[in-house]
Structure 1
Amino acid sequence: MQFHLNGFRPGDPDLKEAAPRDARPLDVLIVGAGPAGLTLAAYLSGFPEIRTAIVERRSGPMEKGQADGVSCRSMEMFQCFGFAERVMREAYWVNEATFWKPDPDAPDRIVRTGRVQDVEDGLSEMPHVILNQARVHDMYLDVMRSSPTRLEPLYGRSVTGLEVEDDAVSVTLDHAGRAESVRARYVVGCDGARSTVRGAIGRKLVGQAAHQAWGVMDLLLDTDFPDIRFKSLIQSADEGTVLVIPREGGYLVRLYVELDALNPEERVSHRNLEVTDLISAANRILAPYSIEAAEVVWWSVYEIGQRMTDAFDDAAGGDDRAPRVFIAGDACHTHSPKAGQGMNVSMGDGFNLAWKLVSVLRGQADPSLLKSYSRERRAVAKALIDFDEEWARLMSAPPGSRSQSKLQHYFAQHGRYTAGVSVRYEPSDVILADDAAPLARGFSTGMRLHSAPVIRLADGRPMQIGHVQRTDARWLLLAFAPAGPPSAQRDALARLCDALACEGGLLDAITPEGADIDAALDVRAVLQCHHTELAITDMPRLLFPRKGRLGLRDYEKVFCPDPRAGDIFEMRGLDREAGCMVLVRPDQYVAGVLPLGDVARLSTFLTGILTG
């Protein structure tokens, strides 16, 4: 974290200086303060020139229940927001998963049949954790309250009408029985599976139900089940399945409990189930072990189903018009919660849309950029639906069936998916074709930047290269120096920097007038030599720039391999002889890998997206 750029200011550096309030027209109205809406709102709150409002039908912040799984990829995103360390401190870390099945010699009893590592080594520097969704919301709200805009949700407001106009969207809200009218340039519906915004733009959730009821409950309990503090999947001979999810704090546990199949026209609400029914079912499945609930914190019953809309915005198919209304999270994709992906994919929706809205609203990109949101995120949601259908089918397979026996293998095989790191965006206007992949085999185009350890040149600090990104809508260019003596590595980087920063070059074209040289593209470099072999003062101007009101030097743009934690060139398959450039989007996804000197292609690509 950098601060004091524009002068010394005491106090908490996370608390940004408040921007003056004004009565400018609203730029973005976010409907729904769930994971998708708060991700988007927290990102936008850092830009005082963008006027944002977020409304929520509930009367106040969430306190308990709903989602709890946080994938490795979401943790990487939280690092960008600045609260990953808080989550790691509070959360339960999922290190291993155990599997239980009927004892072949006594089928009415369960026995442990397997144990697997939850996340493969080296997949991410971040863990897979479990934390109450309400706490994740709290951390987003803290980011918003500390931002220059001091953004707060407006509770107790629900959408009753929406009309798209030529240059804005008109929305009618109900607030305690009173109608309120709001106009905004863009509206984002994050208002859940029964989304009013989705209905207003004519989108429908389409899919099917599995006609299978499940219960979920958060408990403080007493039990003799030995794996209660492991993520555990228990399949009984005749009574169904239980999924155990240990929760934060050392005592709380979540249980997903398979209940009876539903008739084709039956809804789960018709069963009039109580929490005692869930506890009884769990005890039948866990036999010979048992649970005794000391306190039920939260519980619910639901029906498995997978549904998705045909598009995530209001732009009709084949329409050249840029969208003005978007939907995210459960408003455009729903599924069962047992795969632990709902909150994570919803937050990914908000993160994807956020930097694109910022770029357009600040005049740095054409509104056509916003079309890529629906295309990219619908493909992610489709993969989630497919995964969830198979996962739900295997979990509910009859005892002893071939499908049931595949469950542990399927879990291990799809570990990268559940960690959230398998998303890959296809080549497009915002993703280059993957024709330079051999230069950086460990940085896959279209996939999230797989961070690696480095040493900062200026102060010898060990850190992760991926942690340089923040929620500031800037693109990141990582320049990896070619082989040679330290001075030759520096000279190769200097030639690149001269080409980028020359008069009429790329940075002239995409950097706003009067802004710092790295306002649009943050150029950083990784040398191959030891950090003691060169000084930061030897670096070219672009890697040691003057910035801010006082013209202070930025000392944090050059890195070297960390011999103790691992050489980034080896870990990520970088071409030592040639070096390369890795271009990373503001949402931490690799937009392209290019030869170190290919400034022409880099410029053509970025100037097709960004304008100064």
Structure 2
Amino acid sequence: MQFHNQGYVSADPRIQNVNGVGIDRPAELPENVDVLIVGTGPAGMIAAAQLSQFAGITTRIVERRPERLAIGQADGIQARSVETFQAFGFAERIIAEAYRITEMAFWKPDAQDASRIVRTARAVDDPTGISEFPHLIVNQARVLDYFAEVMKNAPTRMTPDYGFDFVGLTVASDGDYPVAVTLRTSEGRERIVNARYVLGADGARSAVRQSIGCTMDGDQAFHAWGVMDALAVTDFPDIRTKCAIQSGSGGNILLIPREGGYLFRMYVDLGEVSPEDHGAVRSTTVEQIIAKANEILHPYVLDVKNVPWHSVYEVAHRLTDRFDNLLPHEIGTRTPRVFIAGDACHTHSAKAGQGMNVSMQDGFNLGWKLGAVLDGRSPESLLGTYSAERQVIAKNLIDFDKQWSTLMATRPEDLADPSELEDFYVRTAEFPAGFMTQYPPSMLIGDATHQHLAAGFPLGKRFKSAPVVRVADANPVQLGHHHRADGRWRLYAYADAAGPGEASALSDWAEWLRTSADSPLLAYTPAGADSDSIFDVKVIYQQAHDQVDIARVPPLFLPRTGPFELIDYELVYAADPAADIFDLREIDRGGAVVVVRPDQYVAHILPLTATAELAAFFRAILLDRRPPAS
């Protein structure tokens, strides 16, 4: 975290200076807004937190509840989400309060007595070290609290507007605020808010989705599960370990320990449901869920003392064919104005722990794009990439969840291989961890011509961090941890073998980016803004940090920032001899440029000499901010 560049700071440095629309922000919901977000779930709150960083954009987020969520239904936080939390500045704090999953135990019927369960296997949660961040369990309400804190501390001082129910909307063909949204207050009064864009993050029964004519298509598995958060006394030895429990009686349990040391969640198999059931299974009582859990756990006993939350659900896999208000024949002819995210456009079982995680990536994907368009950085065509990118990801999630939820509901004796469940868990670990997302080539993802220059940074996948040493202070750091959710693009320049001050491909590239008329840095940085306001440009040298003379580093990597034009010393890095990033990420020793999107996905890989290609890539994404020639 960097601060003091605006002057001395003695208070909490997470609280940014109020700016733009945050100055004298009206307490009441205004008549006109740039973005109106409906729903304070994970997708809505991360989008709001991202947009809160854009000082000139008026964003409001409304919620039908009268206050913050107290108990959330989601609790699994995959490592990719924790990487995202790092971008918003609260990963370390949420890790400290969460339960950390390090392995999963598998229990099955005893071969000698099928009425009893025995532990048959353990699987390490992240056997390949796919992320430096852990897999966590924490109440959804706490995740939303952290995003609310980010919003409140942002320059715009954003806070949710509670007590507003979405009624409907209309979209005009033109006008500054073409979306007219009707809201109803808790007192029953209706009012209209006009918006440039609307995001519906209002859950599986989304009224925003219905208002734009989207329908959820899919199927129902006709299998019911009871889920409960419980405080209990038990002799089951793995009560504080994540478990998949398959019993001889045919019932199954997914056990998820919760944060705090005592609480746990159980997904208890209630069996097949008749198509004629018409939801009657949802009246299953918590006492019946507890009785079923004890039957499955035999010979162990669960003495439940308290159940703060429970529910019954039937597995359903549904997906909308589009995530915005454009019909297929309208794509490319006009700008989408209404978007949906999270459960509003994809639903699935809870047992893979994907709902909150994928929803947050929906909101992150759209949030930076709305910010870039409304801030004048990018053309409106950027917004068409949201539905194109995220709809495919949701389809992949549903396909995965169908396999996982089916295996979880299958009796051990009906599996083709006795170890099929645990084998699937280990084999597919990268998917539920959130790292199989890979966006295809588009205006935002370059072609793979030069992928070999940085094979460890697959195009379209998230930027996988690695250790480096900061030259100025010899501190070992994770390179990716300095990627903040500030809407900026990242340009990582991996140096060729020459050192600072020597003529090299890196020095030529740095001088081109700093001075050339074709440079994206000059073309897209607004007049009067800091040189790093749109692009965060870092260099990583192959030499050890004590062999890099920072006085001879190209001036591009030592920019002046803030009102005092102070030098930023945190952009110059060296390879860590103990874990060389050039080896870890298979970076060519001749150097390379890795371009990373504001949402942490690798957008392009180019040689240091490919300046024309770098300029051409950004030409379709960003708008020239230079004043017209006189």
* Number of the residue aligned with 1:28: 35
Secondary structure (helix, strand or coil) at the match of 1:98 reads: strand
1:482, distance to aligned residue in structure 2 (A): 1.1
One-letter code of the match for 2:557?
Answer: L
* Number of the residue aligned with 1:216: 227
Name the TM-score, length of structure 1 as normaliser.
Answer: 0.98
* Number of the residue aligned with 1:529: 543
1:491, distance to aligned residue in structure 2 (A): 4.1
Change (3 A) 1:546 1:226: same
Deviations 1:299-350 (A, max 9, x none): 1110101000000000111311110000000000000000000000000000
Pair 1:585-2:597 in alignment: yes
* Number of the residue aligned with 2:628: none
Distance 2:499 2:282 in 1: 74
Where does structure 1 differ by over 6 angstroms across 4 or more consecutive aligned residues? none
* Number of the residue aligned with 1:296: 307
Distance 2:221 2:416 in 1: 16
Secondary structure (helix, strand or coil) at the match of 1:350 reads: helix
One-letter code of the match for 1:195?
Answer: S
Distance 1:556 1:429 in 2: 30
Pair 1:450-2:461 in alignment: no
Equivalent of residue 208 in structure 2, options 197, 206, 211: 197
1:484, distance to aligned residue in structure 2 (A): 3.8
* Number of the residue aligned with 2:437: 423
**Contact 2:231-2:262 at 8 Å conserved across structures:** yes
**Contact 1:223-1:292 at 8 Å conserved across structures:** yes
261-270 or 133-142: which moved more? 261-270
Distance 2:458 2:397 in 1: 20
* Number of the residue aligned with 1:601: 613
1:191, distance to aligned residue in structure 2 (A): 0.2
Distance 1:186 1:54 in 2: 12
* Number of the residue aligned with 2:555: 541
Secondary structure (helix, strand or coil) at the match of 1:417 reads: coil
Distance 1:605 1:423 in 2: 22
1:22, distance to aligned residue in structure 2 (A): 5.6
**Contact 1:238-1:399 at 8 Å conserved across structures:** no
* Number of the residue aligned with 1:173: 183
Distance 1:368 1:486 in 2: 40
Pair 1:396-2:406 in alignment: no
Deviations 1:439-476 (A, max 9, x none): 11110000000000000011111111101211111100
Equivalent of residue 364 in structure 1, options 377, 386, 394: 377
Gapped regions of structure 2 (runs ≥ 5): 626-630
1:60, distance to aligned residue in structure 2 (A): 1.1
Distance 2:392 2:367 in 1: 18
1:4, distance to aligned residue in structure 2 (A): 1.5
Distance 1:529 1:272 in 2: 66
Residue-pair matches, total: 609
Deviations 1:264-306 (A, max 9, x none): 1323345521100110000000101111111111111101010
545-554 or 345-354: which moved more? 545-554
Pair 1:347-2:360 in alignment: yes
**Contact 1:530-1:561 at 8 Å conserved across structures:** yes
1:502, distance to aligned residue in structure 2 (A): 1.7
Secondary structure (helix, strand or coil) at the match of 1:30 reads: strand
Change (3 A) 1:271 1:161: closer
1:6, distance to aligned residue in structure 2 (A): 2.0
Secondary structure (helix, strand or coil) at the match of 2:431 reads: helix
269-278 or 173-182: which moved more? 269-278
One-letter code of the match for 1:348?
Answer: Q
Aligned-pair identity in percent equals 49
* Number of the residue aligned with 2:277: 266
Distance 1:69 1:6 in 2: 38
Pair 1:246-2:257 in alignment: yes
Secondary structure (helix, strand or coil) at the match of 1:448 reads: coil
Secondary structure (helix, strand or coil) at the match of 1:106 reads: coil
Distance 1:148 1:437 in 2: 38
Gapped regions of structure 1 (runs ≥ 5): none
**Contact 1:94-1:231 at 8 Å conserved across structures:** yes
* Number of the residue aligned with 1:433: 447
Change (3 A) 1:270 1:294: closer
Name the TM-score, length of structure 2 as normaliser.
Answer: 0.95
RMSD over equivalenced CA pairs, Å: 1.3
* Number of the residue aligned with 1:337: 350
One-letter code of the match for 1:325?
Answer: V
**Contact 1:394-1:403 at 8 Å conserved across structures:** no
One-letter code of the match for 1:284?
Answer: E
* Number of the residue aligned with 1:65: 72
Distance 1:89 1:485 in 2: 40
